[in-house]
Amino acid sequence: MNTEIDHLGIAVRALDESLTFYRDLLGMPVSNREHVAAENVNVAMLPCGVAPGSPRIELLEGTAPESAITRFLHKRGPGLHHLALRVDDLAAAVARLKAAGARVLNEPRTGAGGHEYVFVHPDSSGGVLLELIQSRTEG
């Protein structure tokens, strides 16, 4: 199975304020900005390279009290929320994890950018909230 870093998810209190640092001071372009209603978050994606498929930074702003990002910010404050890995076969990866007793937090669903994903509980992945994303084939 091919696995690559897709993005680092960073929880922020205010998306526009955070973009001042990443976009304006570091010069990182914003490749995508959207609201993901199912997760109650606003998202901005910032590529970390020029090659297609380069890793990205994902800034996440909660938009409701029940948002996982809002809860994370109340508990831990702004900072690294998760590491996302791109996999060739999400269904096979999820089946393998579940068979090994890993705690998968959701069934595959569609998120920012139309990507299908699941989250793996930090207890199963060395203390890091892990997001697995289905690779897309272009064409």
* pLDDT, tens only, 97-131: 999 999 999 999 998 888 899 999 999 999 999 99
d(CA 65, CA 52): 35
Structure tokens at 129: 């909230």
Cβ burial, residue 132 (10 Å; 0-12/13-18/19+): buried
- pLDDT tens by residue, 37-46: 989 999 999 9
Please tell me the distance from the alpha carbon of residue 29 to that of residue 26, in angstroms, as a whole number. Answer: 9
Q: What is the pLDDT of residues 63-88, one digit of tens each?
A: 999 999 999 999 999 999 999 999 99
Supply the pTM of this predicted model: 0.91
Please, what CATH class does the domain formed by 3-134 belong to? alpha beta
Domain residue extents for the chain: 3-134
